Amino acid sequence: MRRTDQRRAAVFALYQHDVTERPLSETLERDSTALTRSLAHAAADRQDELDEQIARHAVGWRLERIAPLERAILRVALLEMLHPDAVEARTPIPPEGAIDEAVESAKEFCGAQAPGFVNGILAAVLREVREGVPAVTSPEPDARQSPR
């Protein structure tokens, strides 16, 4: 199974966990790979930290107003960007690769505004990490959700 598919399986497990409040172990497919399980569990374990990053960079958006699938995509990408050692993988994905994977998932599975929103948040986090100064993004909210 391609790593992209394994990442997406982790995203969908996190999404289902978030929406249904079922245990993560129940939302993971029975035959999930070690990478999928590692991504999902590590993102869930660090959810508060990852959500703080999302909320800080999603200017004009409350975390709860971001679609659950977009939050799951962001959490997995941020995990790989900020904690590459937390994931069971032979070679960690570079931060730019994590961003690209997240944007592609958003293009395929989310609304039209989601890819730009996801890219904006992840790029701002990466800039902040690399430059050591807080970055602020101002993604435009889409019509389906209003900032509150």
For residue 59, tell me if it sits in a domain.
yes
Q: Up-side HSE of residue 58: CA atoms within 13 Å toward CB?
A: 25
Is position 145 within any domain? Answer: no
Looking at residue 139, its pLDDT comes to 43
d(CA 70, CA 76): 10
CATH code (residue 26): 1.10.940.10
d(CA 122, CA 53): 9
pLDDT digits (tens, 9 = 90+) for 102-120: 999 999 999 999 999 999 9
> How many CB atoms within 10 Å of residue 131?
9
Structural domain for 71, as ranges: 3-131
Asked, for residue 140, whether it belongs to a domain, the answer is no
91 vs 30, residue with greater confidence? 30
Look-up of token digits 């975390």 = 63
Torsions phi, psi of 126, nearest 5? -60, -45
Structural domains of the chain, count: 1
pLDDT over 70, % of the chain:
89
